[in-house]
Each structure stands twice: as C-alpha cells, then as structure tokens.
Structure 1
Amino acid sequence: MLNIAPSCNAETKASDLVAHYALQITRKTILITGVSPLSLGESFVKQVAVAKPAIFILAGRSIPKMQPLIDEIGRAHPEIIVKPLALNLSSFADVRIAADEVSSWTDVPYIDILVDNAGIMATPYQKTEDGFESQFQTKHLSNFLLTNLIMEKVLASKTPRVVVVSSGVHRVGHIRWSDYNFNDGKNYQRWLAYGQSKTANALMALALAEKLGSRGLLAFPLCPGTCYTNLSAHGADDYVSFAADLTEMDNLIVGNNGAFLSDCHVADQRQEEVYPWAINKVDAERLWALSEKLVGQEFSW
C-alpha cells in the first residue's frame, strides 16, 4: 500500500502527518519545553510518541505537573525513554542550571530536535528577576539562552533541527528596539508585548538558520494555528498543526531554511500569513546581538 502524504492545510491533523512521517521521528531524541497539562506541548508529545522516538526530554517549570504525562507515555509507549527537566524560563540562572544538566547527560549524546515551545500569553505587566518584561524573557530571551547553551548537543545530531513556536499574533508587535520593557510598564499593552515576543521567536529561528545552516541545522519558526490550550484556559485541540509542521520538515522545505511556517506550509507574505518584520534578515541579526547583550553572553556560531 502506498504511503500517500496527507494534504497540508489548516485542517490537517497532526496524527495523519505523524503516521506518514513516522520513519523521520522513530529513534530520534527530542527536547521540548512547555509540557504542562492541557498545553500545546503536551498534545505534541502525545501525538509524536506514536512514532516512537527514542528519548523525550520534557522541560517545564514543575516536574510534578508533568508527572501525569510522563506516566501516560510510560504506560502507552514503554519503549520511549522519558527524561524530565526542571526549567524556569523566568530566571537566566535557572536556565543555565537546566542547560548544564542536559550537557552533563552522558546517556544523551545528541539532540535531534529541539522544540522551543514554552511561554506565557498576554499576561499583566511583570518584570522577571533579571529585569525584563515577563513575556519577552520567558518566550524569547530564555529560549535564546537555552538553545545556544545546548546547541553543541543539537549539532552533534546527524539531522539537527530547531523548531521555535511563534504565532500569527506577531502581526501586532514588532521588536521595540529601545523600549522592549514598555517604559517599565507605563506604556504596557499585553497583546503588543505578546506580539513582540512572537516576532522575536521568528527572528531567532531565522538567525539560527543563517548562522548554522552550513553545519546542517534546519531551524524554523511556525504558527501552530488556533489551539485551545491552558494558555487560554481551554482544553487542547485535536487539530494541532504543531506536530504536523515538525514532521513536514523533510526535503520539501530544506531550501527554505529559516522560513516561517503556517498551516503546514511556508507562509505567504502576499496573503499576510507573515509580516515583513518577522522575516527580515537584518532585524534577525540585530535581535541576535541585542539578545546576546541582554543575556550577558556571546555565541560565536
């Protein structure tokens, strides 16, 4: 029987694409951040587990909250090794501790796929302990730091990939280069802040593709579509295109490394699926330099 690829559009189910691309998932080591109950990350893990990756590294702020998912994967797929990782994205110090732990694991010599998924959405104004607007740090700066700190393990894979979960909401918020903290909250608008973080996600993935594509890294930002998750106090949606976008990363889009993905295809700027400020290579490099400054470390890729 021919294994015919499902159509790729807004109605595509993750389960269909995972089944079709199972051979690209099986025996892989996958690290995903943000797998709390009823989250997009939890749904991703459940969908992709069917294709039997070798190792799932599940990173989140509270390991006890992840335990039901860990137990469920253990019962349904006992052949998959599940490694929990405590990760608090509101603290650079905690991010460094988590990265050091991953780097110390001798039983995980490489990471095939890193999925930067964790974050918060449209929250009231708050600064982190490091002094940054909470959405900008938890969704961008800390993911930027973690990704670079464990990049050598990603590059040790024969097929290294980084997926950064962005959003169509990037349309409402470009990078506020001189006021990313919204004047200490005086000019704060929660959706503009969320949009800024999502634009940052897109630019970070683009920068990774530009800097490390020559070393085999594929990096893509994506919009997962409308997903009713714990971010909006609803249950997870079965039509999550998140896993679909990940498994779709085969030879069809290698030539578009760094491109913004939406509804399982490269986003069309003419159809306003992606806005110019989220795919600008000059801005991607500018944000990279700013992010290095803000996290206090340079990365020479």
Structure 2
Amino acid sequence: MAPPANGDSISGHDLAATYADNIKGKIILVTGTSQGSLGEEYCLAIAKSEPKLLILAGRNAEKLQFIISAIAKANPKVATKSLNLDLESVAEVKKAAAIVNSWDDVPHIDVFCHHAAIMGTPYGTTVDGFEKQLGVNYIAPWVFTNSILPKILKSESPRIVLLSSDGHRWGPIRWHDPNFKGGENYNRWHAYGQSKTAVQLYALHLGKVLGKRAQVFSVNPGVIMTPLGANIDWAGEFGDIIRIDLELGNDEAVNGWPKYKSKEAGIATAVYASFDQDLADHTGAYLLDCQVSNPYLHTVRPWAFSEVEATRLWKWTEELTNEKFSF
C-alpha cells in the first residue's frame, strides 16, 4: 500500500481503518497511554479494528485504568491487559519484562509501539544515575525492548515502533559527558536531542541486527501539543530553542517550525509504521509524515542515521547498563 499523499495531515483513525485487516487479531503492546497522549490516541484508533489484545504499560495504575475504560467504550470486544512499567529504574524495567515473558496467555507480541517519553525536564537523574531524559527515553526502552524481544520474535510478522522526534536535531550522543557534568553544563534541549538521537540509532542498529526477522522503525510524530510538554514554560524556553537552531544552522530557525498537527494526525505515522505492508525493505528507518525519511529533504541529522554511531551506541549502552543481549 502506497503512503498516503496527505501523510502530514491524515487522521491516524482514518489510516487505521484502511489497515483494519492487518490490525484484526493482533496482540499489541503500547507504552505511554496516559490521558491526552499520543499513546492513548493510537490505542483508540486501532481498537476500532479489533486487535486480539491491547497490553497497556505505564507506571500509574489510575491512568492505566482510564485508558482501559476508554478502550472498552470505543470497542468492548477488545481485550486489554495492564503492565506496571517504571522507566526510571532499570531493575523495575527488567521486572516488568520478566512479567511479560511469563504470561502464558500471551504467546507472542505482534506489535510493540513505544510512546512513553519525557521532554525538556529540569536536570535530574534516574535511579541508576543516568541523566533523566536519556534514561527514560532511551536506556529503559533499550533494556525493556531487548528483554521482551524473544516474545516479539515469536510473532509471524513482528514490528517494533519507537517514537523519536525531529528534536533529535538539537544534539548528538555526548559520548564523554552524557550527564552534562552532573548537571553543571546542562541544557534541557541538548539533552532531549541526545535522547531522541539515541532512539533513532537504536532502531537503525536493531533493524540491521534482526534483518528480516522483524521490522523496526523510529517515528517522528510531528509537532503536537500533548501533556508531554505540560511542564514547560514555552514562552520562556522558545528563545533557547531558537538559539540552538541558529547555532546549528537548522532550517527551523530560518523558515520556522513545521505546522502543528492534531493528535489524530500525530499518530498517523506510528499507525503506518505498525501496520503498512510495504515497509519490509526499510527496517531500521526513521519515518515521518507516513513515509520513509529522506536525509536530503527532511530534518534528519547525520549523527542520527550513521551505522557507525549506531553500533557504537549499542556497545556503549551495554557498558552503561552492564546488560548484554544477543539475538
């Protein structure tokens, strides 16, 4: 199926309807499904097409119950299951992964769509001492995804979809100072950029490692107002963001940001990545506006699609976490 011509504005609900046959009967694990989020919107869109099971992962039981109730209203035929997942602790992430792997009633996972993230937070560290945006947005998902990968690979056509951002343009991996010297030289937007660059490099490397055994994508949803940015004083921060774009010579500083999208449009590329049947030759790719990105046309920084950087990141993350995976 060709990418929709209006991929920058098509409703993810409408797109999900065109993939109804591909969604029906699937077991799908989704993170980041709190009220008002893209993860919630994604679940409500695909619930209409009767997946077999939606597994909803998050750290707040009350928020998980809200999305479970919302799905039941959207389509009472869809079964749901909740999973406690705390992305600020590697130990808790491994505990959650062990629970998933122990579920006999979940023989495989067809699609894992990771929406959970934080953005532009003040300096802080995770339980394990990682700068918080890097730890929550990349390191914890790296551990979780790799830990449940054996169950994902039991699917006949497994997909892994990881949300990144055009904010990756704000920073490469800070190989020798990922924690900003204990916060001394911290910039929340460089930190966010580093974390989203890491997500893209992870998808690139995992796609290469798995080859035809699974399809892996990183996704740019676009610029959408969601609770993700609720903690940010945009009036105070926007000048700093523009300054970074100016320093780096980014197009956004000259011609302005891309137009804002609705949440319905914001989930479309994730839906496309999860269910489109013509993406098999593009595993590892970074997707936006329901198409495979073109670094000559789109905001894709070379530090986020280098196979050398991707391999280095994998090895670096193994050292940081003292975790090793082979597939």
Match of 1:40 in 2: 38
Is the CA contact 1:18–1:243 (under 8 Å) kept in the aligned structure 2?
no
Match of 1:233 in 2: 230
Match of 1:109 in 2: 107
Q: Distance in 2 between matches of 1:274 and 1:248?
A: 23
Amino acid at match of 2:40: E
TM-score calculated relative to the size of structure 1? 0.94
Q: Distance in 2 between matches of 1:160 and 1:248?
A: 10
Closer/same/farther in 2, CA of residues 5 and 144 from structure 1, 3 Å limit: closer
Q: Distance in 2 between matches of 1:278 and 1:208?
A: 14
The CA deviation at 1:246 is 2.6
Deviations 1:99-122 (CA, angstroms, capped at 9, x unpaired): 011011000010001112211001
Amino acid at match of 2:102: S
SS of equivalent residue, structure 1 residue 261:
strand
Is the CA contact 1:24–1:247 (under 8 Å) kept in the aligned structure 2?
no
Give unpaired runs (5+ residues) of structure 2: 232-260
1:279 to 294, 305, 308: 305
Is the CA contact 1:58–1:85 (under 8 Å) kept in the aligned structure 2?
yes
- Pair 1:245-2:242 in alignment: no
The CA deviation at 1:76 is 2.7
Q: Distance in 1 between matches of 2:277 and 2:226?
A: 28
Deviations 1:115-164 (CA, angstroms, capped at 9, x unpaired): 12211001000011101100000000000000010000000000011001
Q: Distance in 2 between matches of 1:6 and 1:288?
A: 33
Q: Distance in 2 between matches of 1:135 and 1:4?
A: 35
Q: Distance in 2 between matches of 1:156 and 1:113?
A: 11
Q: Distance in 1 between matches of 2:3 and 2:218?
A: 22
- Pair 1:269-2:271 in alignment: no
Is the CA contact 1:8–1:265 (under 8 Å) kept in the aligned structure 2?
no
Is the CA contact 2:3–2:291 (under 8 Å) kept in the aligned structure 1?
no
Closer/same/farther in 2, CA of residues 211 and 84 from structure 1, 3 Å limit: same
Q: Distance in 2 between matches of 1:55 and 1:32?
A: 11
The CA deviation at 1:206 is 0.7
SS of equivalent residue, structure 1 residue 271:
coil
Q: Distance in 2 between matches of 1:247 and 1:157?
A: 13
Q: Distance in 2 between matches of 1:219 and 1:55?
A: 21
Q: Distance in 1 between matches of 2:26 and 2:262?
A: 25
Q: Distance in 1 between matches of 2:180 and 2:302?
A: 22
Q: Distance in 2 between matches of 1:185 and 1:68?
A: 36
Closer/same/farther in 2, CA of residues 16 and 7 from structure 1, 3 Å limit: farther
Match of 1:134 in 2: 132
What is the RMSD of the two structures over their aligned residues, measured on CA atoms? Answer: 1.8
Amino acid at match of 2:322: G
Amino acid at match of 1:237: K
Deviations 1:165-186 (CA, angstroms, capped at 9, x unpaired): 0000101111001111111101
Amino acid at match of 2:320: L
The CA deviation at 1:243 is 3.7
Is the CA contact 1:19–1:51 (under 8 Å) kept in the aligned structure 2?
yes
SS of equivalent residue, structure 2 residue 139:
helix
The CA deviation at 1:77 is 1.5
The CA deviation at 1:36 is 1.1
Q: Distance in 1 between matches of 2:3 and 2:322?
A: 45
SS of equivalent residue, structure 2 residue 55:
strand
Percent identity between the two aligned chains: 42
Q: Distance in 1 between matches of 2:270 and 2:201?
A: 21
Deviations 1:256-295 (CA, angstroms, capped at 9, x unpaired): 1111101100111112321111111111111011111112
Higher mean displacement: 12-21 or 225-234: 225-234
2:199 to 195, 201, 204: 201
Deviations 1:199-231 (CA, angstroms, capped at 9, x unpaired): 0000111111000114x2100001001121101
1:55 to 41, 47, 53: 53
- Pair 1:97-2:95 in alignment: yes
Is the CA contact 2:4–2:290 (under 8 Å) kept in the aligned structure 1?
no
Higher mean displacement: 68-77 or 83-92: 68-77
- Pair 1:289-2:319 in alignment: no
The CA deviation at 1:5 is 7.4
Deviations 1:9-65 (CA, angstroms, capped at 9, x unpaired): 211111121111111111111111111111111111111111111111100110211
Q: Distance in 2 between matches of 1:297 and 1:248?
A: 31
Closer/same/farther in 2, CA of residues 199 and 267 from structure 1, 3 Å limit: same
Higher mean displacement: 173-182 or 238-247: 238-247
Q: Distance in 1 between matches of 2:264 and 2:321?
A: 36
Is the CA contact 2:113–2:274 (under 8 Å) kept in the aligned structure 1?
no
